Amino acid sequence: MGKAGRDFLDGFQEGARSEVACLGSTYPVLTREFWTSRQRQAHALHEVSYRACYKPQLPRLFIEGLTEPGDRVYDPFSGRGTTALEAALLGRRVAANDINPLSRILLEPRLAPPEPGAVEARLREIPLDCPEAPELGMFFHGDTEREIRSLRAWFQERERGGAFDALDGWIRMVATNRLTGHSPGFFSVYTLPPNQAVGPAQQVEINRKRGQVPAYRDTRALILRKTRQLVAGLTPEEHRRLRASDPRLLTGPAAAPGLEAGSVRLTVTSPPFLDVVQYQADNWLRCWFCGLDAAEVGRGITMARTVEAWSRAMAEVFGELHRVTAPGGHVAFEVGEVRKGTVRLEEVVLPLGAAAGFAIEGVLINQQAFTKTANIWGVSNNTHGTNSNRIALFRKA
């Protein structure tokens, strides 16, 4: 074990300690609550929704413990960009990749947040008079849908004409996040949480059961309100760090070469877990709004149905991670918990990392007493993977 990794693990004196066997050796397993289970303990800038995202406290634990300001931190399965944004707020340079173009749409604007006044002025410039007939009346009031279609048309026209700028990107990011949800802060009538959009037929059934009809939502007002919430408390120093984060944002397979060899000090990532999450179905409406082909995006996302297929895909990813990791650098590979705990993917991941050339440091299991996710889905705490983060830690010699 390298000194940095040893000192990092030895810093946790409380919690249960055990061992896991791999390739004829044993490695430490630390189980405890590594970060608070309370909600909204991270920066407000993180508060955009995306299915299966982890809390910013997870990457922060490793960023603060295993890197220094200016180091490059990477996430090859970026999702909403939690690792990259947290690294930037902590003064690190960032790199992020995801095969889903929505990932960059959600992350890039938050690395250069605008002033709310500039957002308000741009919103007034955007005409909300789209002549297209509403087709999504199960989700939106007719006037709300016309405004959504007007915003969509504005972004597409600006992109075609080369006029699309950072303000447009910010407004599109916020609007994408506000499309559907379960409170009046979203454009839609009550539906599932905003990270999991249902289909039109399912929404018709939700409306019937709840006896609800979509009410008008003022899209400009909601975008501006969410903007103010996201940038609330953002300090001048944090603005400076975000501007200095030197982002490398990629869109492609996680195993494809994209960064310079030896350029990454730390990777913190969480790949798709077998076939647990249906990213294409969850994001169909967001893809439509952003002018993306949801089916094409879905075909590229790793959705292995067996452990064997998942292992083959992750072996290729580890090969690329070993290439881009600097000597002495680390990989924190979060695999959650799937199939009611009967599949422990950390035990699958450890030999994959070793085969790629990494040294195994150990496993950290974050176990929380309560999560909002468990409450929403009505399952007991520490069941169905709602409370456990299982993280395999590796080092490049």
- pLDDT tens digits for range 221-230: 999 999 999 9
Q: Is the dihedral of CA 295, 298, 299, 300 positive or negative?
A: positive
- Domain locations along the chain: 3-99+238-395, 116-229
Instruction: Retrieve residue 7's tokens.
Output: 């000192």
| Kind and range of the H or E run holding 389 | strand 388-395
CATH no., domain 3-99+238-395: 3.40.50.150
Q: How confident is the model at residue 342 (pLDDT cuts 50, 70, 90)?
A: low
> d(Cα 361, Cα 365) in Å, to the nearest integer?
13
* 217-252 residues labelled b (16+ CB within 10 A) or e (exposed): bebbebbbebbeebbeeeeeebeebbeebebbbbbe
Residue 336 has pLDDT above 70, yes or no: yes
Q: How confident is the model at residue 383 (pLDDT cuts 50, 70, 90)?
A: very low
**pLDDT value at residue 361:** 96
Q: How many CB atoms lie within 10 A of CB 177?
A: 23
Residue 370 has pLDDT above 70, yes or no: no
* 34-72 residues labelled b (16+ CB within 10 A) or e (exposed): bbebeeeebbebbbbbbbbbbbbbbbbbbbebbbeeebb
Contact yes or no for 388/360 (Cβ under 8 A)? no
Residues linked to residue 97 through DSSP beta bridges, in sequence order: 250
Question: Which among 263, 395, 251 is positioned nearest to 329, based on CA atoms?
Answer: 395
**pLDDT value at residue 386:** 45
Of the given ranges (106-115, 305-314, 355-364), which has the lowest mean pLDDT?
305-314
Question: Which among 359, 356, 350, 355 is positioned nearest to 391, based on CA atoms?
Answer: 350
Mean pLDDT within 274-302: 78
How many CA atoms lie less than 13 Å away from 331 in the CB half-sphere? Answer: 36
Instruction: Retrieve residue 21's tokens.
Output: 């066997």
More confident residue, 326 or 272: 326
